[in-house]
Each structure stands twice: as structure tokens, then as C-alpha cells.
Structure 1
Amino acid sequence: MDPYAKLAELGLELPPVAPPAAAYVPAVQTGKHVYVSGQLPTVNGKLLATGKVGAGVSPDQAKDLAERCALNILAAVDALVGLENVVKVVKVVGFVASAEGFVGQPQVINGASELFGAVFGEAGHHARSAVGVAELPLNTPVEVEAIVEVA
């Protein structure tokens, strides 16, 4: 499966890699794994939304934001090793800035998981955590990180 063709089929293109907001790199390879730092739902360096899911940010909007985080993850992987070298998306961790009482974190992070599945097929199916948190950097509603196995 050609991940670039799948992205084009989905009407998506890889954005430039988001520059780090602090003292870290977007992605690092060790052995056969690429560890991607938490990615925010940004376009051209600007957050697509701010606030908490369940209070100002709808779960559907947050799911779309998680998909954008995943696209930014793919950009970081591509810049480091090329998407054609991805063997398996191993682990995804999603953080959702949650209003009190909001418990739909798994459905929000499905936005990222579904994109990985659409791009890589079976190789995009992964282990995952979806965690509700009180606050995220820059008041973003969603942040997603990943570990990817590469050839």
C-alpha cells in the first residue's frame, strides 16, 4: 500500500513539519522505531482551535483535530525516514483537554486512529491510550504522539 497515494485519495497532503514549541525534536529514530513527539492540531503554525472538549469544543470537532494531529505525525515521520519505510504504527497516545464530566476521549482519538488505518491498512492498526487531562500546551484541545516501526 502506497501511503502517499492513500493520502491523495483521502484528499490530504502532508504539511510542513511543525516546529517544536520547546526543547525537543519532532521525531527521533532509535533502531527500527520512530518516536514522534506530541503533535498539536496546527496548520501553518496556528492552532485550529483552543479550549476544552465538552465545553466550547465539540467531540466531533475534537475528532477532526485529532486527525490533524495524526497528519502532523505523518509529516514528522516522512521528514525523518519517509512514509514508504513505515512497517507498523505500534502505539498511539492521545491527550484530550476535557471539561468536567467529559468521558468521550476514546471517540475523540479515533480521529487519529482512523487516519492511520486509512493510510496504512492493517499496518496502521495499533495499541492506544486515550487520556483526559485538565490542560494541554497552548490551550489546545487535543495532542497526539506515536511510535512507528520502520524498515
Structure 2
Amino acid sequence: MRFTTTVLIICSILFVTCETPVGLEPVSGVEGKITFHGNWQNDIKAAAIIALDDLDLENPAANLVTYSNIIDPGTSEAEYFIQLLPGKYYLAAVGITVDPGLFAVKLDSFLSAETIPIVIIDNDLRNLTTPINIKSQEITVVEREIIF
């Protein structure tokens, strides 16, 4: 009887003092669908959506925050996602003009040289010049339509 009481007391203490797991916190970012119409240009090896913290299309390398998943050439429609901290960003659909694997591996080198092997493929200037405000723990949906 004494052993059972001791075990119950210890279990009660452990139960009360254990912390409840918090789990993963929701992320912030942007997601959407990008649709391509027409024939992909031969010099474009892949596409992506890039996030810039300032709009300087003459030198996007200086303001590149990150980029979405790579989209294979010839794709007519793809989903994308970019995880971002809360803040203001400019999004641009770009064509990558080098092998996508090389792009990912050498991105730091491209950035330090302030040149990225990309071309802007967004057709609507409003898409480029309108900032997207990312709020904490919210996903903003942004659709893109590209006509080659």
C-alpha cells in the first residue's frame, strides 16, 4: 500500500511538472500558382519566383532575399512557395539561364559578383512594382501568369 501511494505521488508530481509540447509555429510566406502560356524560350533552363527586399531590376542580386522552388522548362502550370520573414517584398517571375543545379550551388558566387543568370519574364509591370506585405504566421497567395 505504501509503495502504491509513493508511486501515485511521484506520477502526479511528474504529470504536473511536465511541459506541454508547443509544436511547430506557423510560418510566414507567399505561395501560389504560376501559369505559362506559349513556348518557353530556348535560353531559359528553368523558372522561379524571386523575392527582393527592394526594387532595383538593374541589379536584382543586390536585393535578392530568396527564391521559390525551381520550375522545369516546358511546364504549363506549377505551384510555388517561398518562406519569408514578415515584411515588404517585391516578387518577380524569372527565367534562369544556367543549369538549375549550377544556379543553386553557385548562388553565393553569383551574388558576390552582383550578377545572377536570370531574365525577368513577368509580363505585367504592376506585378513587379507592387510590394507584397507578409504578415507574421500568414501565407499570402499570389498568382502569376506568364506569356512567352
Do both share a fold (TM > 0.5)? no
Point out the structure with the larger helix share: 1
Interval of TM-score (by shorter of Structure 1 and Structure 2): under 0.3
Calculate the TM-score normalised by the size of structure 2: 0.25
